[in-house]
Structure 1
Amino acid sequence: MGEHRIRLDVSDDGVATVTLDRGEKHNALDPAMFDAILATTESLAADRRVRAVVLHGAGKSFCSGLDISALGDSGGAPALLTREDGHLANHAQRVATDWARVPAPVIAAITGNCFGGGLQIALGADIRYVTPDARLSIMEVKWGLVPDMGISQTLPRLVAADVAKELTFTGRIISGTEAHSLGLATRVLDDPLAAALDLAHEIAGKSPHAIRAAKRLYDETWSGADSATALMLESELQVGLMGSANQLEAVFAGMERRDARFADPE
């Protein structure tokens, strides 16, 4: 992964903890951090053991956004806008949008600053837990820019257009409490990391095939899909689950009042 920027740990029950590990810089995004995140999402997407992911930042902040000085010194900004063959999103966008390519649910635990690109990474997660005093901002206007790390694909699923515009036009900083009231955060908690880990372990105890299918169902149909396509995908996913080994294990475990023993996806 190049320079050290990420810590990745996978527990015995398949919970992957991803730590943005540049705490002394509030986990600001430099070229090495971009590369490390992409390598991590690729690894998680391919690891069949992973049943849930918790994403958080070391130190005081989740991620304070772009490290402008590091990008300027390295000439890395233009490279972030390049698209590799086979990818719809560019290098910078993939840091936020590739979390959707991870079949397992991704839970972001947000503390401290979550600005600009950092917020867009958090928006790429399936669930966001925040502290009441966390500080979130679509901050790009401060630098004379537009948010361009996949926010057009994530923000419309969470808030109305007028809310998105007000936050984007002003770049104002909002608290975790306000973020929750606006729909940007799922829950407000004093210890979002502990709560995220608890949720991840709970999810890890469910059938991984059912969880992956549910994530795919919502990701592909929540906005933009026509009714016929959405309803057909529901049926196709259900048919694929019914009678499968893990689906039968869920039934038998429930009837026998015991913990289920689910097999990892092949």
Structure 2
Amino acid sequence: MSIVETEDRGAVRHVVLNRPQKRNAFNDELVLGLREALHAAADDDAVQCVVVRGAGPMFSSGMDVGFLGALSGQPERLRASRRPILETWNLLEEMPKPTIAQIHGACLGGAMELALAADLRVMASDAVIGLVETRVGLVPDVGGSSRLPSVVGLGRAKEMIMASKIIDGTEAERIGLVNRVAPADELDAATDQLVTELLACAPRAVAYAKRILDTVAKPNLSATLELEVAAQELCARSEDFAEGTRAFAEKRQPEFSGR
């Protein structure tokens, strides 16, 4: 069974994260599998819309704990390890076809950054979502800090990132983070309804509109993505990150130095 599965529903390509035994946490294999699947969807003329979702009880818990461990031990490898992740997330945003993240269970950290790269988000009302990096002494560095303000506004973005706030689907829709919310057992139907509305529009016009809107909303994206990684390099070398990873492993609250 593939770590990323695909399912075609007419003109819609469903790309499914398939590592449920690890809560669909992103390791190198899952990132590579997702990148290949997104490239294939982007290059297939028969595909007019892409939906990314997760197998098992949740969308994704974010980056694999092994990734954080490696970052703690070798912070100089940050840029190299981050590059394929960012390239994959960017694919979701940059392909000319509309993309949707269908969120159930939980969508945390790097997984929320992936969802932010999608054009639209549909979420179960009882699911939870958040960027929790500051809890371990890091910042969202694969697009979360750059994209969230354009979706929910600067004030709410600061609250979610600086306080590592986790919210449910109902709150996510209220603040504009997701486009549709539905009970978990109606999530597929809610996604299908949004897809139907997208497919009723001219694909070329949708593609042009997508490009224009993204350029307007994130005119300095490349610069802010560079700021993210520069900040993360400093965080990864800090005592706060060392303490955050120790506390995470020991299942306790961290005691940050503030230095």
Distance in 2 (CA, whole Å) between partners of 1:76 and 1:64 is 23
Query: Given that residues 53 and 101 in structure 2 are in contact (C-alpha distance below 8 angstroms), is that contact kept between their aligned partners in structure 1?
Result: yes
Q: Which residue number in structure 2 is paired with residue 15 of structure 1?
A: 12
Q: CA offsets per residue over residues 37-64 of structure 1, 9 Å max, x none?
A: 1112222221221101111111110111
Q: Which residue number in structure 1 is paired with residue 36 of structure 2?
A: 39
**Equivalent residue letter for 2:43:** A
Q: Which residue number in structure 1 is paired with residue 193 of structure 2?
A: 198
Distance in 2 (CA, whole Å) between partners of 1:42 and 1:54 is 13
Counterparts of 1:61-76 in structure 2 under 5 Å?
61-69=58-66, 72=69
Q: Which residue number in structure 1 is paired with residue 134 of structure 2?
A: 141
**Equivalent residue letter for 1:9:** E
Q: Which residue number in structure 1 is paired with residue 23 of structure 2?
A: 26
Distance in 2 (CA, whole Å) between partners of 1:64 and 1:164 is 20
Residue 18 of structure 1 and its aligned partner are, at CA, apart by 0.8
**Equivalent residue letter for 1:8:** T
TM-score, L = length of structure 1: 0.73
Residue 192 of structure 1 and its aligned partner are, at CA, apart by 2.3
Identity percentage over the alignment? 34
1:161 pairs, out of 146, 151, 154, with: 154
Change (3 A) 1:96 1:141: same
Q: CA offsets per residue over residues 214-249 of structure 1, 9 Å max, x none?
A: 222212223439xxxxxxxxxxxxxxxxxxxxxxxx
Unaligned 5+ segments in structure 2 are 221-259
Q: Secondary structure at the match of 2:152?
A: coil
Distance in 2 (CA, whole Å) between partners of 1:223 and 1:70 is 28
Residue 112 of structure 1 and its aligned partner are, at CA, apart by 0.6
**Equivalent residue letter for 1:45:** A
Change (3 A) 1:93 1:143: same
Q: CA offsets per residue over residues 91-148 of structure 1, 9 Å max, x none?
A: 2222322201221101111111110001111111111111111111111112211100
Distance in 1 (CA, whole Å) between partners of 2:17 and 2:140 is 21
Residue 70 of structure 1 and its aligned partner are, at CA, apart by 5.9
Alignment partner of 1:125 is 2:118: yes
Which structure's residues are more often helix, by fraction?
Answer: 2
Alignment partner of 1:176 is 2:169: yes
Query: Given that residues 149 and 156 in structure 2 are in contact (C-alpha distance below 8 angstroms), is that contact kept between their aligned partners in structure 1?
Result: no
Q: Secondary structure at the match of 2:80?
A: coil
**Equivalent residue letter for 1:208:** P
Unaligned 5+ segments in structure 1 are 84-88, 226-266
Residue 205 of structure 1 and its aligned partner are, at CA, apart by 4.2
Change (3 A) 1:77 1:93: farther
Query: Given that residues 145 and 161 in structure 2 are in contact (C-alpha distance below 8 angstroms), is that contact kept between their aligned partners in structure 1?
Result: no
Give the total of aligned pairs: 217
Select between 146-155 and 213-222 the one with higher mean Cα deviation. Answer: 213-222
